[in-house]
Amino acid sequence: MGGGSVLIHVRFRPDGTVWEISACPPDVSKDAWFKKLCARASDRFQARAGGRGMFRLTAEQLDALKAQSH
């Protein structure tokens, strides 16, 4: 991956659990991936209307977070 910006989109259920989240490693649950992103990159999260949000990360940040998930 290059050094560009990566958007990780999140959609929530009405009860607040994660319905969909992009770039989620296959061996990590959606909720666990969201919690990891919040713990490591909460300053990069933007809440959106309609139960949605997104993280704006660099490709390097995303790679590092995925590496920490294993």
How far are the Cα atoms of 31, 45, 51, 52 from residue 19, in angstroms, in the given order?
8, 17, 10, 10
pLDDT at 4: 83
pLDDT band for position 1 (50/70/90)?
Answer: very low
- Determine phi and psi for 65, rounding to 5 degrees: -65, -40
Nearest to 61 by CA among 42, 41, 47, 43: 41
Length of the chain: 70
In this predicted model, what pLDDT tens digit does every residue of 3-33 receive, in sequence order? 689 999 999 999 999 999 999 999 999 999 9
| Domain regions of the chain by residue span | 5-68
Q: The whole model's pTM is what?
A: 0.87
- pLDDT over threshold 80, residue 46: yes
